[in-house]
Amino acid sequence: MHRDSMSLTYLVPLAIEHLQRDPLAAGDFYQGDLLKNVLSVDPQFWQTRPDLRRTLERIVNNVQSLPEALREALTRFRTLNKQQ
């Protein structure tokens, strides 16, 4: 397993836990940057963890109003991770 893949295996579930409590949590830069980074994770990761992908979809579906940058990231995420 590639080192980056191993990191994602541990970091993405932690990030999703945090996003479940606060979907627009600010990381180091701006409100919503944690969500934007999770939405940018390599599609290969989501293929191995469809359970986390579904959880992430539920999180974003429950957000009342996504900022433009997050809407763009969500569109890209959904395009790259179309369910087969």
The reported pLDDT for the residue numbered 5 is 62
pLDDT single digits (tens) 50-80: 999 999 999 999 998 888 889 999 999 999 9
- Domain count of the chain? 1
Q: Single out the residue of 76, 18, 81 nearest to residue 47, CA to CA.
A: 81
Range of the domain at 54: 3-80
Q: At 78, list the tokens.
A: 């959904």
Per-residue pLDDT band at 83 (split at 50, 70, 90): low
C-alpha 46/C-alpha 37 separation (Å) is 14
The predicted model scores a pTM of: 0.86
pLDDT single digits (tens) 4-46: 666 999 999 999 999 999 999 887 778 899 999 999 999 999 9
